[in-house]
Structure 1
């Protein structure tokens, strides 16, 4: 199931500040947020595999006290080690992606200096709640990931993550029959909350897996470089 709409039929508007201090074009920054266990890191890994042959990309992960998400990406060899940076926030995850973004900005800038030029940097938040959003000073577009095992009432409950993210991903659709989640209801509720903002339903266990999300990212990259 795939709902894919935008306000004007094309990619959403992105930041006008597309350059680094030296005048070169900086990477597009896409943030991924969502509750603990929703599948953010697995989605990041799948995106890296889908995009790495065509684009130069890197990842910044956020955990409160560990490097667990970065270590998952390293174990699965989705990118060379020098393209993955871990930020230990030491506080609620939304603090480092919305309130005090200095550590994440430093990680992003370090990656561009070390392995640039880059086309794309994925910034993964630590697991948070439905209020999680990224500062526009950190990312150019936001993906919010929820999963069907968290309950099919999540889209109806709303919250800034669900209602305002540039893309909402409803993950683990393969689990719906086992946890009693109604995908049709989730689609209707998401449409009600988000109007024309896009929604993707995905299962990373299926053959097409992350294809719809990867296509959305490619559209944003085309708009960014264009």
Structure 2
């Protein structure tokens, strides 16, 4: 179940699409959202969906551990050398929005080690509705919320919900059990975001993350055009 976003146009690639040596750098897409919303599971699903088509890698962020990276390694979604972790040691906002140096270094190290890459997914540590990525770190951002957090989250807004390039309402299979109204969430998200796209997904369904993967493919097509 999703909102129609066929009319949404993909922005043109940014001017800094090349590395200092002239090679085209990877498209960088950030995934943020509250703790437990399903960011890491969505990253894993995207890796499975895209790894045969594109050369990709992942950077995860956690405050004091490498838990998310270890989950991806256990799931074997990519070879180990394509997954790396940043321990932020502070509020997750800081490493993706304010002092992005550790994440930039991690992305560049991956490109040097296993490149050339088509795509790098940068996952934020669990955060709140104000989480956003610096434009100096990512080219586009996905914000993930889940129905268990309450069907009023899209109405509450916040920069993550209202300005992310794609909003994902995750775990729709849980809606009947937590009393969330998916129709209301979809309508509120549309009201909050205007023309920006929204996907409602359950990773337990047959379609899984297919819509999000299609959105990423479109971004990659624009990036390499």
Aligned residues: 225
Please state whether the residue corresponding to 2:58 is helix, strand or coil: strand
Q: 1:136 to 1:4 in 2, by over 3 A?
A: farther
2:71 aligns to what?
72
Alpha-carbon distance, 1:162 to partner: 0.1
Structure 2 distance, partners of 1:72, 1:40, is 12
**What pairs up with 1:43-192 in 2 under 5 angstroms?**
43-192=42-191
The answer as to whether partners of 1:155 and 1:190 remain within 8 angstroms in 2 is: yes
Residue aligning to 1:17: 16
**Alpha-carbon distance in structure 2 between the residues aligned to 1:133 and 1:13:** 20
Name structure 2 gaps, 5 residues minimum: none
Report the 3-state secondary structure (helix = DSSP H, G, I; strand = E; otherwise coil) of the residue aligned with 2:103. Answer: helix
Structure 1 residue runs of 4+, over 3 Å off? none
The alignment yields a C-alpha RMSD, in angstroms, of 0.9
Question: How far off its partner does 1:2 sit?
Answer: 1.3
TM-score, normalised on structure 2? 0.98
Supply the distance in 2 between the matched residues of 1:185 and 1:71 (Cα, whole angstroms): 36
The corresponding residue for 2:3 is: 3
Contact 2:166/2:197, CA 8 A, preserved across alignment:
yes
Q: Structure 1 stretches of 5 or more lacking a match? A: none
